[in-house]
């Protein structure tokens, strides 16, 4: 029994992080048809900014603030203003290629600056564990679950309850109609990019203690994000369900399968979704193709 | 001279240059040129997938790797290289179709994600399944082939062998583009809706392009194993898949000469810029982002622009009074 509880917590913790990144990925796809192939690197990078800030002597909380602020500026604002706005007029394919290239730029850049070795990253709440019965639950996993769930709930409330949030949702659901209804679609899209940057920064801070900070983290994180978002059906609720489900399955696989077969999971899930439910778990088939 | 004759002449001159180029250069340059030739073959394959039918594949390295491992496994057990070609081509063609078929069923672009997941999985198989692949130690002593009694053990001989492969692949793709299939590809690229309306089974043609693209990746892998005479998992990572895709884009996607240029810029050019080795990939990716912002048609598009400018200038000077 204690193993089950431990697996559950570990699954929820990683799943909630995948969900954060998958929500952001979905928001970008829906509001601006941007398929951000660099999303994994967007989750990898902020942790390194935090480490950099700590290296120059800032305390951990201040370094986190710097990391989030830098993400908002670079991965949100600048990414939208320079890369997306400039290239999307040439079409979706050049933009997709540009984000693929951007992922490589971030990955190689971090490798050149921080080196190829994985660096330890301080976990929120320290390294202690909570004993519940025979189960040992890492405090930082519990904190990760609470923070991620709070962020997701807050975002949902913002998107559902406030006029601004509803305008962003309308833009995500159908940009053309939203424009006709008088919603400033371009501004809403900019907000979506900022939200994505905040989500990936949060995901980065929560997940990096588990994986250590490595320049190549974005590969696996990105793949899991894509799988969660696509299997969920490219909508916000689907991204949450997809992320959590993938977190569970991934942790189960890590416990019971060899590394190779664990690595086969994204492929198996994607092919199964494509064959049996191309619109995704929570997607509706009458949705217009994105 | 009409454009067709001009093109044949240019192709002939290009081939002569490639034959003469390594003469008098040191052995190491023969290795680099061989690597360029096989990289070009992998990029030509990806150009079918990306350039002709607009499907992004992030798994080309996996197909190169499968070709390389098939070659290493077969030839170290005494099989001829021809068997490796057949098996690598067939396996990659089958796997390419197997990935493309589900990807094309959805209306969303799923192929990049499915090929990405495939590449990750195949890399893990190479690295972890020691019983088959030798794990991180890889497979040693892959023999070089000999053709018609001529050994390719020397670097120069092997370069000519790679060049021969490149010529065959280029000719095959050239023929393919002029066949009814190729015309269907062209129609598909120009206007998918109209292609469908005139009765072209767009999904089937897209699938064939994906499968052939993967199979050419396998052919490049056969040459890779024979060139290095050693395979290990490291090179067949996501970075190689992305680099190959960027080469196609850099050269000019959908253009026959694009992969040659893109591969040259990725493989040959950094040899001249040794000091920048660590930053080369970073610079290459940055250059692609800039190309996408200002010049999505790539180097070949740039070349076209220059050509039209020169023609206009010469026409203008011809018209000008003496």
What is the 3 state secondary structure string of chain B? CCHHHHHHHHHHHHHHHHHHCCCCCCHHHHHHHHHHHHHHHHHHHHHHHHHHCCCCCCCHHHHHHHHHHHHHHHHCCCCCHHHHHHHHHHHHHHHHHHHHHHHHHCCCCCHHHHHHHHHHHHHHHHHHCHHHHCHHHCECCCCCCEECCEECCCHHHHHHHHHHHHHHHHHHHHHHHHCHHHHHHHHHHHCHHHHHHCCCCHHHHHHHHHHHHHHHHHHHHHHHHHHHCCECCCCCCHHHHHHHHHHHHHHCCCCCCHHHHHHHHHHHHHHHCHHHHHHHHHHHHHHHHHHHHHCCCHHHHHHHHHHHHHHHHHHHHHHCCC
Residues of chain A neighbouring B103 (CB-CB closer than 8 A): 274
pLDDT band at A285 (very low <50, low <70, confident <90, very high): low
Average pLDDT over residues B195-221: 91
Supply the DSSP symbol for A132.
Answer: E
CB contact under 8 A, A258 and B128: yes
Bigger pLDDT: B207 or A136? B207
- Is B144 buried (19+), middle (13-18) or exposed (0-12) by CB count in 10 A? middle
Q: Quick check: B266 contacting A, CB < 8 Å?
A: no
For residue range A218-235, list pLDDT tens digits in order: 999 999 999 999 999 999
Average pLDDT value for residue range B73-88: 94
The residues, ordered by sequence, that sit 6+ positions from A245 with a Cβ below 8 Å of its Cβ are A15, A228, A231
Query: What ipTM describes this predicted complex?
Result: 0.94
Residue A290 banded pLDDT, cuts 50, 70, 90: very low
* Nearest-CB residue to B288 (from A101, A219, A273): A101
**Confidence at residue A12, expressed as pLDDT on a 0 to 100 scale:** 94
B288 touches A: beta carbon within 8 Å: yes
Question: Does residue A20 have a pLDDT over 90?
Answer: yes
Which carries the bigger pLDDT value, residue B10 or residue B66?
B66
**Residue among B117, B125, B278 minimizing CB distance to A260:** B125
Taking CB atoms and an 8 Å limit, are B292 and A104 in contact across chains? no
pLDDT beyond 60 at B321: no
Q: Give residue A286's pLDDT.
A: 46
- pLDDT for residue B275: 67
**pLDDT tens sequence across A62-81:** 999 999 999 999 999 999 99
Chain B nearest-CA residue for A83? B293
Q: What is the pLDDT of residues A165-194, one digit of tens each?
A: 999 999 998 889 999 999 999 999 999 999
Chain A touched by B46 (CB under 8 Å): no
What residues of chain B lie within 8 A of the CB of A103, using their CB? 242
Indicate the pLDDT class of residue B182, thresholds 50, 70 and 90: confident
Taking the Cβ of residue B296 and every Cβ of chain A, the question of whether any pair is shorter than 8 Å is answered with yes
Chain B residue closest to A100 (CA)? B242
Task: List the single best residue of B108, B246, B283 to mutate versus A (max A Cβ within 10 A).
Answer: B108
Q: How confident is the model at residue B236 (pLDDT cuts 50, 70, 90)?
A: very high
Per-residue pLDDT at A121 = 95
Q: How confident is the model at residue B1 (pLDDT cuts 50, 70, 90)?
A: low
Average pLDDT across chain A, whole number: 92
Number of A–B residue contacts, CB under 8 Å: 130
Comparing A246-255, B189-198, B214-223, the range with the smallest average pLDDT is: B189-198
Predicted confidence band of residue B160 (pLDDT cuts 50, 70, 90): very high
Task: Return the domain boundaries, chain B.
Answer: 27-237
Tell me which chain B residues have a C-beta less than 8 angstroms from the C-beta of A230.
108, 110, 113
φ and ψ of A129, to 5 deg:
-125, 155
For B165-176, write each residue's pLDDT tens digit. Answer: 999 999 999 999
Cβ of B129 under 8 Å from any chain A Cβ? yes
pLDDT, average across residues A202-217: 94
pLDDT value of position B153: 82
Average pLDDT over residues A13-18: 95
Which pLDDT score, from 0 to 100, does residue B272 have?
76
Q: Do A112 and B279 touch (CB under 8 A)?
A: yes
Residue A287: band (very low, low, confident or very high) from pLDDT cuts 50, 70, 90: very low
- For residue A34, which residues of chain B lie inside 8 Å, CB to CB? none
**Cβ contact, residue pair B118, A267, below 8 Å:** yes
Q: Pick from B183-197, B278-292, B299-313 the range whose average pLDDT is largest.
A: B278-292
Q: Average of pLDDT values for B204-226? A: 96
Q: What CATH fold (topology level) applies to the domain A2-276?
A: ABC transporter involved in vitamin B12 uptake, BtuC (1.10.3470)
Assess whether pLDDT exceeds 70 at residue B137: yes
Q: Quick check: B242 and A97 CB within 8 A?
A: no
Task: Give pLDDT, residue B72.
Answer: 96
What is the Cα–Cα distance from A68 to B234, expressed in whole angstroms? 34
Q: How far is CA A265 from the centre of its chain?
A: 18
Q: Which of A29-43, B14-28, B45-59 has the lowest mean pLDDT?
A: B14-28
């Amino acid at each position: 029994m204690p193993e089950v509880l431990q697996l559950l917590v570990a699954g929820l913790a990683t799943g909630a992080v995948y969900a954060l990144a998958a929500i952001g990925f979905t928001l970008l796809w829906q509001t601006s048809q941007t398929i951000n192939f660099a999303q994994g690197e967007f989750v990898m990078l902020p942790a390194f900014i935090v480490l950099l800030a700590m290296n120059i002597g800032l305390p951990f909380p201040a370094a986190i603030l710097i990391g989030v602020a830098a993400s908002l500026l670079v991965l949100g604002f600048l990414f939208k203003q320079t890369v997306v706005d400039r290239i999307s007029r040439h079409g979706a394919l050049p933009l997709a290629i540009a984000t693929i290239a951007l992922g490589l730029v971030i990955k190689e850049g971090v490798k050149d600056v921080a080196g190829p070795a994985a660096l330890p990253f301080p976990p929120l709440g320290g390294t202690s564990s909570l004993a519940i019965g025979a189960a040992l639950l890492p405090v930082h996993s519990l904190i990760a679950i609470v923070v991620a769930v709070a962020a997701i709930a807050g975002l949902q409330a913002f998107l559902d309850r406030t006029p601004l949030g509803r305008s962003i949702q309308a833009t995500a659901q159908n940009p053309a109609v939203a424009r006709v209804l008088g919603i400033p679609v371009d501004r809403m899209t900019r907000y979506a990019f900022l939200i994505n940057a905040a989500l990936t920064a949060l995901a980065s801070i929560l997940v990096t203690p588990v994986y250590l900070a490595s320049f190549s983290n974005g590969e696996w994180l990105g793949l899991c994000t894509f799988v969660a978002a696509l299997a969920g059906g490219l909508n916000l609720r689907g991204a949450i369900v997809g992320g959590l489900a993938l977190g569970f399955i991934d942790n189960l696989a890590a416990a019971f399968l060899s590394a190779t077969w664990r690595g086969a999971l994204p492929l198996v899930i994607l092919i199964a979704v494509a064959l049996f439910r191309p619109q995704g778990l929570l997607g509706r088939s009458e949705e217009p193709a994105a | 001279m009409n454009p067709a004759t001009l093109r044949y002449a240019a192709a002939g001159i290009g081939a002569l240059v490639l034959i003469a180029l390594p003469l008098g250069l040191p052995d190491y340059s023969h290795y680099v040129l061989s690597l360029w030739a096989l990289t070009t073959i992998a990029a030509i394959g990806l150009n079918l997938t990306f350039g002709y039918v607009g499907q992004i594949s992030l798994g080309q390295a996996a197909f190169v790797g499968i070709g390389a491992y098939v070659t290493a496994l077969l030839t170290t057990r005494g099989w001829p290289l021809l068997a490796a070609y057949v098996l690598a081509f067939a396996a990659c063609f089958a796997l390419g179709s197997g990935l493309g078929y589900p990807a094309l069923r959805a209306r969303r672009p799923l192929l990049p994600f499915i090929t990405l997941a495939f590449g990750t999985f195949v890399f893990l198989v190479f690295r972890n399944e020691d019983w088959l692949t030798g794990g991180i130690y890889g497979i040693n002593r892959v023999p070089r082939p000999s053709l018609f009694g001529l050994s390719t053990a020397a670097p120069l001989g092997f370069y000519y062998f790679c060049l021969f492969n490149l010529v065959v692949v280029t000719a095959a793709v050239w023929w393919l583009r002029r066949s009814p299939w190729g015309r269907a590809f062209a129609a598909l690229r120009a206007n998918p809706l109209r292609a469908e309306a005139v009765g072209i089974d767009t999904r089937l043609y897209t699938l064939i392009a994906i499968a052939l693209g993967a199979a050419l990746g396998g052919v490049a892998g056969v040459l890779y194993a024979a060139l290095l005479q050693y395979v290990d998992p490291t090179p067949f990572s996501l970075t190689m898949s992305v680099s190959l895709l960027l080469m196609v884009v850099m050269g000019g996607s959908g253009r026959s000469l694009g992969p040659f240029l893109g591969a040259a810029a990725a493989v040959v050019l950094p040899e001249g810029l040794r000091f920048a080795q660590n930053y080369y990939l970073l610079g290459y990716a940055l250059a692609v982002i800039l190309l996408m912002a200002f010049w999505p048609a790539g180097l070949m598009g740039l070349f076209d622009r220059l050509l039209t400018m020169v023609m206009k200038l010469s026409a203008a000077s011809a018209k000008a009074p003496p």
